[in-house]
Structure 1
Amino acid sequence: MTTIKVPRQTIVDRVVGYFAPGLALSMLRDRTMLSAYTGQGGYKGGRRDRRATRNWHPGGGSADADLLPQLTDLRGRSRDLARNLPVATGAIQTNRTHVIGEGLVLNAQCNRKALGITEEQATAWNETTEAEWQLFCRSADFTSVQHFADLQAMLFGGVLESGDIFAIRRFRRDPGDAYGTKVQVIEADMVSNPNWMADTDTLVAGIEHTRQGVPVAVHVTDRHPGDRRRTAVSWRRVPMRYNDGRQIVVHLFDRLRPTQTRGIPYLAPVVEALKSLGDYTDAEVRAAVVSAMFTVFVKGAPSPETGPLASTDAGGTGREDEIELGAGAVVDLAEGEDIVTANPGRPNPQFDAFVTAFLRQIGVALELPFELLIKHFTASYSASRAALEMAYHSFRRRRSWFVRQFMEPVYGWFLEEAVLTGRIDAPGFFDDPAIRAAWMRATWTGPVRISLDPKKDAEADKIDVEQRVKTRQQVLTERTGGDFDQKVEQVRREEAALEGLSAASPSPAPMLPSPDDEEDDDA
Structure 2
Amino acid sequence: MTILDSIISYFDPVKGINRAAARQMLDASKRDYSAAQFGRRNRGWRGRGTSATAEVSMALSTLRDRSRDFVRNSWAGQRILDVMTSHVIGTGIMTVPNTGSDRLDGRYRLLREEWESQSDIEGVLDYGSQQALQLRSMIEGGDSVLRLLAIRIEDANGTVPFRLQGLEGDLIDTTRDSIIGSNGNVRLGVQLGEWNAREGLYLHSVHPGDQNVANVRESKLVEWGNLCHLYRPLRLGQIRGIPWFAPVLLTAKEIQDLMEAAIVQQRTQASFAGFLKRAPGASNPLMPKKEDDASRVTRLEPGTIQDIGESEIVFANPSSQSVFGEAYKAGMWAMAAGAGITYDQLTGDLSQANYSSLRAGKIEFRRLVEQIQWGCFVPMVCRKVDQRFVEWAIMAGKLPNRKGGYQVDHVMPAIEPIDPKKDLEADILAVRAGRMSPQEFISAWGRDWRKVVTDFDSFFKFADANNVLLDIDPRRPANGAKANAAPAAEGTQND
When normalised by structure 2's length, the TM-score is 0.79
Kept in 1, the 8 Å contact 2:417–2:423? The answer is yes
Work out which of the residue numbers 3, 8, 16 in structure 2 matches 1:12.
8
Shift of 1:39: 7.5
Aligned to 1:71: 60
Kept in 1, the 8 Å contact 2:278–2:312? The answer is no
Q: Does 1:144 align with 2:123?
A: yes
CA contact (8 A) 2:173 2:219 kept: no
Residue 303 of structure 1: how far off its partner (Å): 10
Structure 2 match to 1:257? 235
Q: Which runs of 5+ in 1 are unaligned?
A: 19-23, 111-118, 242-246, 308-333, 429-434, 505-523
Q: Residue 296 of structure 1 is aligned with which of 263, 267, 273? A: 273
Following TM superposition, by how much is the alpha carbon of 1:29 offset from its aligned partner in structure 2, in angstroms?
A: 6.2
CA distance in 1, matches of 2:468, 2:354: 50
CA contact (8 A) 1:446 1:481 kept: yes
Question: What displacement does 1:501 show?
Answer: 4.4
Secondary structure of 1:235's counterpart equals coil
1:285 — aligned with what?
A: 263
* Residue equivalent to 1:206: 189
Aligned to 1:457: 423
CA contact (8 A) 1:139 1:179 kept: no
User: What is the rounded CA distance, in whole Å, between the counterparts of 1:238 and 1:76 in structure 2?
Assistant: 25
Q: How many Å apart are 1:391 and its aligned residue?
A: 1.3
- CA deviation profile, 1:394-421 (whole Å, cap 9, x unmatched): 1111111211110110011100011122
d(CA) in 2 for partners of 1:353 and 1:192?
45
Structure 1 residues 382, 10: closer, same or farther in 2, change over 3 A?
same
Tell me the secondary structure at the aligned position of residue 121 of structure 2. coil
Is 1:498 the equivalent of 2:491?
no
**Compared CA separation, residues 490 and 54, structure 1 to 2 (3 A):** same
Matched residue type, 2:329: T
The equivalent residue for 1:517 is none
Q: Are the structure 2 counterparts of residues 485 and 350 from structure 1 closer, same or farther at C-alpha, using a change threshold of 3 Å? A: same
| Matched-pair contact (CA < 8 Å) for 2:119–2:126 | yes
Change (3 A) 1:45 1:499: same
Q: Relative to 1, partners in 2 of residues 1:295 and 1:199: Cα closer, same or farther, differing over 3 Å?
A: farther
Matched with 1:166 is 145
Partners of 2:314 and 2:462 in 1: CA distance: 80
Query: Which of 125, 145, 159 is residue 104 of structure 2 equivalent to?
Result: 125
Q: CA deviation at 1:183?
A: 1.3
Alignment check: 8 A CA contact 2:414 2:446 kept:
yes
Q: Summarize deviations over 1:333-373 as a string: whole Å, max 9, x none.
A: x9987655445556x65322211111222222222122222
Q: What SS does structure 2 have at the residue aligned with 1:269?
A: coil
> Cα–Cα, structure 1 residues 210 and 342, in superposed 2: closer, same or farther, change >3 Å?
farther
Structure 1 residue 393, shift from structure 2 partner: 1.2
CA distance in 2, matches of 1:501, 1:180: 45
1:331 aligns with: none
Q: CA deviation at 1:229?
A: 5.8
Q: Sequence identity, in percent?
A: 21
Deviation track 1:47-69 (CA, whole Å, cap 9, x = no partner) reads 23x32124423111111222211
Structure 1 residue 28: Cα displacement: 4.4
Q: CA deviation at 1:187?
A: 1.2
**Is structure 2 residue 222 aligned with structure 1 residue 239?**
yes
Contact 1:369 1:390 in 2 (8 A): no
Q: Give yes or no for the alignment of 1:399 onto 2:373.
A: yes
Q: Which amino acid aligns with 1:42?
A: D
Partner of 2:253: 275
Distance 1:139 1:337, change over 3 A: farther
Instruction: Pick closer, same or farther for the CA change 1:248–1:41 going to 2, 3 Å.
Output: farther
Distance across 2 between alignment mates of 1:144 and 1:335: 80
Cα 1:413–1:421 shift into 2, 3 Å: same
Q: SS state of the match for residue 238, structure 2?
A: coil
Question: Structure 2 matches for 1:122-521, cutoff 5 A?
Answer: 122-173=101-152, 174=155, 176-193=157-174, 196=175, 199-201=178-180, 202-210=185-193, 212-227=195-210, 231-241=214-224, 247-292=225-270, 294-300=271-277, 340-342=314-316, 344-345=318-319, 349-377=322-350, 378-400=352-374, 401-428=376-403, 435-436=404-405, 439=406, 441-478=407-444, 480-502=445-467
Distance in 2, matches of 1:209 and 1:281, equals 47
Against the structure 1 CA distance between its residues 298 and 91, is the aligned structure 2 distance closer, same or farther, given a 3 Å change threshold? Answer: same
Which residue in 2 is equivalent to 1:244? none
Tell me the residue number matched to 2:288.
none
Deviations 1:206-236 (A, max 9, x none): 2222364233222111211112766432134
In structure 2, C-alpha distance between the alignment counterparts of 1:458 and 1:488, rounded to whole Å: 18
